[in-house]
């Protein structure tokens, strides 16, 4: 009796161990990829990404992509870097384009030249590829969620202030003039409605655009030169300080997340922000709004922004091949066009705009074409190793100046000194 | 005169069990691995240069410390942290003490209700509380400015104003923590003998006299505990700064721990971050030592 019970238990135990193994090996080997992605703009974009991932997984049963939402661009970069340093990098990840030199310094990215063909790359807008090449000339990432800043304005407020609602300001001077007409104070003298808001949070990115509009750049990655205090940059900052401190038509500080809400709530009449919040504004604004190029100074100008797809270097070759298939899926014209429609990011490939749904969409909502058209005036985003610190140095100069705590010239000279010291090993060569 | 001392033997008094120190080994191992070793390693790394441009640590002596003291942001951060400490601790203590005393006067189901209501903010995770208050403090559509306007009080830009961002965070912190200290004070109040209060009723002492001469002195040991704990907590303020302002307009809400985090995980300057950590720990030790020395004299354990 006892022996029989023991034999039964033994048989059950063996089955419990063997059965899952048998089932497991009966299936084909699935390559599992972790995919870190940020959401840098307002909107339910995490669920959109999940939709694409599910479509890919269903179409490719031998690959399983596991999407991991990693917050904003900053936390995403931290998580990627920590994972790389811990020897356990995500297979595919999206980080903000300026982080490329830092990732290259950590040897974290796989070169993609052997995977990407020339015709594939030639379909991307050239401005979007300017942040894809390392100093060794190799390709390290593929554009995915790309944007430029654009200019939003509230047409109802324009009508109310006696301005033509279909004519956004075309120059810095016009911006100033319009803002003075649009700003409103309440009974106690406090500002109830700002004329224009140059959004904080990524105000360094917006500042880069202003400097490009004024005919210069802040940092040249190829030439390894940093010039935060050029005459053009000083003019741009002095313009900002004029708006915030002298004329008081713009708020001195704000956050990236709060300003679209302010715009939608009617608290600011004009807004500099990314095209990526277009869908949020479209869904939430209860008024007529317009989207246009940022006003020009010497010319129109913008710095591109957003995130690109990277493959980690220290993962098995089959993971890299599977990751490349995933990247190709995400960058097909159809998916890239859908992504643009669902998010407000610019579709990264020229072929996207030939996709019939996209053509109809842009015809119905012309604002989706604005950032794309502005690309002809756009340059690559500034990037350098240790970019986060450079960014912090620049933001401090901007914030202290608009806050009235520092003079623009001193702030920028200081920033230039600090940046040169930080990058001295790199920039002087 | 020496009495008969028992020699401490390898066996405990209770029979043939092992030496009590053996029971401490698991804790010691964990403490060693997760507290002492990182502390010493931080001290060690603070003398090395280890950042994006120097992937392998390179010895650099006191360079990190010199760079740290030469950075204007460091002094701003220190000032922010000190201001935060000096303002939030007395206010939180006063509110929690007053509420504890009031609640103690009125036992019953109402007290339990109020106790839950007061402790409720402490139970909300800091990140959630921070996000909530970001919206409450929104200058255009937030409830704080809405009610201030109704009361005719001039409104400010709160988290976007260099002057008001840190006070805003202090408000959230006080709101969040007073319930916790109130509970500690309530517990302390249970230790005060009823007879003393009955004496007061007989002698005709009023509420404030009772508070000043009986309650406060006998709560002094609890107060010392509250001061030490809140000092330690206030120096570690990170979650609110990170969630609400990310260091704030122009570093006006950048606190010491947040600055360490920035150096370690955004700028990837491990040497600098370690040096900052060492300075932080020494500073905290000094502050606590001073306050304990200063307050020990004022603490009564019996009246």
> Could you report the per-residue pLDDT of B221-250, keeping only the tens digit for each?
888 899 989 988 888 889 999 989 988 888
Q: How far is CA B232 from CA B90, B120, B280, B287, in A?
A: 14, 22, 11, 9
Q: Which whole number is the average pLDDT over B269-274?
A: 93
Name the strand (E) or helix (H) holding A311.
strand A305-311
Tens digits of per-residue pLDDT, B187-198?
Answer: 998 888 888 888
Tens digits of per-residue pLDDT, A173-201?
Answer: 999 999 999 999 887 778 889 999 999 98
ipTM of the complex: 0.83
| Position A28 pLDDT exceeds 80 | no
Is A197 inside any structural domain?
yes
Percent residues over pLDDT 90 in chain A? 74
Is A96 inside any structural domain?
yes
| Position A144 pLDDT exceeds 50 | yes
Q: How many domains does chain B have?
A: 1
Q: Are both A198 and A270 inside the same structural domain?
A: yes
Helices (H), A67-117: 73-85, 100-105
| Position A27 pLDDT exceeds 70 | no
Domain of A165 in residue numbering reads as 149-303+386-427
Q: Are both A121 and A266 inside the same structural domain?
A: no
Give the residue, A44 or B60, on which the prediction is more confident: B60
Q: Which whole number is the average pLDDT over A88-116?
A: 93
Q: Are both A93 and A131 inside the same structural domain?
A: yes
Describe chain B by its helix, strand, coil percentages, rounded to 5. Answer: 70, 5, 25
Q: Are both A217 and A95 inside the same structural domain?
A: no
Tens digits of per-residue pLDDT, A110-132?
Answer: 999 999 999 999 999 999 999 99
| Position A158 pLDDT exceeds 90 | yes
Is B7 inside any structural domain?
no
Interchain CB distance below 8 Å, A426 and B266: no
Scored b (16 or more CB within 10 A) or e, B127-151 reads eebbeebbebbbbbebebbeeeeee
Give the residue, A295 or A428, on which the prediction is more confident: A295
Q: What pLDDT is recorded for position A14?
A: 85
Neighbour tally for A286: CB within 10 Å: 9
Chain A interface residues facing chain B, Cβ-Cβ under 8 Å?
74, 78, 81-82, 102, 105-106, 188, 190, 200, 251-255, 258, 261-262, 265, 267, 385-386, 388-389, 392, 396, 399-400, 403, 405, 425-426
Is B37 inside any structural domain?
no
CATH code for position A239? 3.40.190.10
Is A7 inside any structural domain?
no
**Terminal-residue alpha carbon distance, chain B:** 34
Q: How many domains does chain A have?
A: 2
Question: Using CB atoms, which residue from A105, A267, A399 is nearest to B250?
Answer: A399
Is B77 inside any structural domain?
yes
How distant is the Cα of A388 from the closest Cα of chain B, in angstroms?
Answer: 6
Q: Are both A170 and A105 inside the same structural domain?
A: no
Q: Are both A88 and A163 inside the same structural domain?
A: no
Q: How confident is the model at residue A429 (pLDDT cuts 50, 70, 90)?
A: very low
Tens digits of per-residue pLDDT, B280-303?
Answer: 999 889 888 888 887 777 676 654
Question: Using CB atoms, which residue from A102, A254, A392 is nearest to B160?
Answer: A254
B266: chain A residues, CB-CB within 8 Å = 74, 78, 388-389, 392
Interchain CB distance below 8 Å, B162 and A82: no
Is A23 inside any structural domain?
no
Q: Are both A323 and A292 inside the same structural domain?
A: no
Is A367 inside any structural domain?
yes
Question: Helix (H, G, I), strand (E, B), or coil: what is residue A141?
Answer: coil
B260: which 2 tokens? 């360490």
Is A330 inside any structural domain?
yes
Q: Are both A96 and A117 inside the same structural domain?
A: yes
For residue B244, which of B169, B180, B161, B300 has the smallest C-alpha distance? B169
| Position B11 pLDDT exceeds 70 | no
| Position A372 pLDDT exceeds 70 | yes
Q: Are both A196 and A60 inside the same structural domain?
A: no
A385: chain B residues, CB-CB within 8 Å = 52-53
Q: Are both A283 and A403 inside the same structural domain?
A: yes
Q: Which whole number is the average pLDDT over B116-143?
A: 92
Q: What pLDDT is recorded for position B10?
A: 54
Q: Are both A173 and A280 inside the same structural domain?
A: yes
For residue A222, which of A407, A423, A384 has the smallest C-alpha distance? A384
Domain of B278 in residue numbering reads as 65-296
B267: chain A residues, CB-CB within 8 Å = 386, 388-389, 392
Q: What pLDDT is recorded for position B247?
A: 84
CATH code for position B220? 1.10.3720.10
Is A107 inside any structural domain?
yes
Tens digits of per-residue pLDDT, A317-367?
Answer: 999 999 999 999 999 999 999 998 888 789 999 999 999 999 999 999 898
């Amino acid at each position: 009796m006892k022996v029989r019970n023991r034999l039964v238990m033994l048989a059950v135990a063996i089955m419990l161990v063997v059965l899952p193994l048998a089932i497991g090996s009966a299936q084909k080997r699935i390559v599992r990829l972790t995919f870190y992605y940020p959401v840098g703009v307002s909107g339910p974009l995490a669920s959109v990404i999940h939709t694409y991932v599910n479509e890919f997984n269903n179409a490719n049963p031998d690959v399983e992509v596991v999407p991991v939402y990693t917050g904003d661009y900053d936390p995403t970069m931290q998580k990627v870097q920590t994972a790389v340093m811990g020897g356990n990098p995500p297979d595919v990840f999206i980080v903000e384009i300026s982080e490329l030199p830092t990732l290259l310094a950590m040897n974290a990215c796989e070169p993609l030249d052997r995977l990407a063909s020339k015709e594939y790359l030639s379909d991307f807008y050239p401005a979007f590829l300017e942040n894809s090449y390392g100093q060794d000339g190799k390709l390290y990432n593929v554009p995915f969620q790309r944007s430029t800043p654009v200019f939003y304005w509230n047409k109802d407020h324009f009508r109310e202030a006696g301005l033509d609602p279909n004519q956004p300001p075309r120059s810095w001077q016009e911006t100033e003039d319009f803002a003075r007409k649009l700003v409103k104070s309440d009974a106690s003298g406090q500002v109830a409605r700002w004329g224009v808001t140059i959004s904080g949070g990524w105000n360094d990115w917006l500042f880069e655009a202003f400097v490009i509009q004024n005919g210069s750049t802040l940092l040249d990655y190829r030439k390894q030169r940093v010039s935060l205090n050029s005459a053009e940059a000083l003019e741009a900052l002095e313009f900002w300080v004029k708006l915030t401190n002298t004329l008081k038509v713009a708020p001195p500080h704000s956050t990236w997340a709060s300003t679209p809400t302010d715009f939608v709530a009617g608290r600011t009449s004009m807004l500099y922000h990314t095209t990526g919040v277009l869908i949020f504004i479209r869904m939430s604004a209860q008024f007529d709004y317009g989207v246009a190029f940022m006003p020009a100074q010497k010319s129109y100008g913008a710095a591109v922004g957003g995130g690109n797809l990277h493959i980690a270097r220290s993962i098995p070759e089959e993971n890299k091949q599977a990751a490349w298939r995933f990247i190709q899926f995400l960058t097909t014209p159809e998916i890239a066009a859908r992504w643009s429609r669902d998010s407000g990011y610019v579709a990264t490939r020229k072929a996207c705009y030939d996709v019939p749904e996209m053509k109809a969409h842009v015809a119905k909502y012309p604002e989706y074409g604005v950032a794309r058209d502005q690309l002809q005036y756009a340059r690559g985003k500034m990037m350098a190793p240790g970019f986060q610190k450079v960014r912090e140095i620049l933001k401090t100069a901007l914030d202290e100046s608009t806050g009235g705590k520092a003079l623009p010239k001193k702030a920028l000279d200081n920033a230039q000194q600090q940046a040169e010291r930080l990058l001295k090993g790199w920039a002087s060569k | 005169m020496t009495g008969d001392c028992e020699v401490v033997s390898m066996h405990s008094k209770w029979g043939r069990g092992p030496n009590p120190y053996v029971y401490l080994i698991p804790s010691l191992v964990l403490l060693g691995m997760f507290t002492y070793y990182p502390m010493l390693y931080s001290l060690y790394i603070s003398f090395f240069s280890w950042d994006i441009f120097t992937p392998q640590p390179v010895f650099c002596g006191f360079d990190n410390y010199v760079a740290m003291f030469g950075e204007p942001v460091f002094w701003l951060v220190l000032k922010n942290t000190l201001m935060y400490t000096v303002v939030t601790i007395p206010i939180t203590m006063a509110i929690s003490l007053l509420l504890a005393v009031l609640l103690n006067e009125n036992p019953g189901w109402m007290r339990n209700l109020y106790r839950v209501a007061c402790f409720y903010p402490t139970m909300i995770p800091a990140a959630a509380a921070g996000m909530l208050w970001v919206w409450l403090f929104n200058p255009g559509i937030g409830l704080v400015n809405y009610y201030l306007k109704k009361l005719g009080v001039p409104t400010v830009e709160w988290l976007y104003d260099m002057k008001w961002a840190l006070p805003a965070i202090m408000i959230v912190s006080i709101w969040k923590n007073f319930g916790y200290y109130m509970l500690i004070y309530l517990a302390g109040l249970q230790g005060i003998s009823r007879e003393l209060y009955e004496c007061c009723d007989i002698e005709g002492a009023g509420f404030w006299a009772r508070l000043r001469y009986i309650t406060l002195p006998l709560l002094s040991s609890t107060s010392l505990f509250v001061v030490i704990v809140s000092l330690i907590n206030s120096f570690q303020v990170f979650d609110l700064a990170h969630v609400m302002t990310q260091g704030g307009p122009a570093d006006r809400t950048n606190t010491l721990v947040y600055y360490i985090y920035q150096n370690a995980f955004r700028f990837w300057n491990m040497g600098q971050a370690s040096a900052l950590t060492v300075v932080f720990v020494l500073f905290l030790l000094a502050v606590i030592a001073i306050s304990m020395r200063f307050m020990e004299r004022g603490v009564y354990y019996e009246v």
